[in-house]
Amino acid sequence: MTRVPPRIDVDVDRCIGAAMCVRHAPAVFTQDEDGVVELLPHGAEQAGAPQVAEAAHACPVQAIQLH
């Protein structure tokens, strides 16, 4: 059986710039000049890290989805 790594989707339209994701997983998420979430270049490679699940859980508007 092949294990497919999780994928991170961020909904920039939903993001309100609360920065919880950056606080939980600063190696994965950052914010643009307007405070909107962005995935760092190598952030997707860490989709399976527990900090990413914590960040998704902490986001107040569920803008981070793991698949």
Summarize as ranges the residues that interact with ligand SF4 (CB under 6 A): 10, 15-21, 31, 37, 59, 61, 63-64
Cβ nearer to ligand SF4, comparing 2 with 60: 60
Comparing CA positions, the residue from 67, 60, 66 lying closest to residue 23 is 60
Decide if 1 contacts 11 (C-beta within 8 A).
Answer: no
Please, what is the minimum distance in Å from the beta carbon of residue 48 to ligand SF4? 18
Q: How many residues does the chain have?
A: 67
Cβ nearer to ligand SF4, comparing 9 with 42: 9
Q: Determine phi and psi for 32, rounding to 5 degrees.
A: -80, -175
Cβ nearer to ligand SF4, comparing 34 with 42: 34
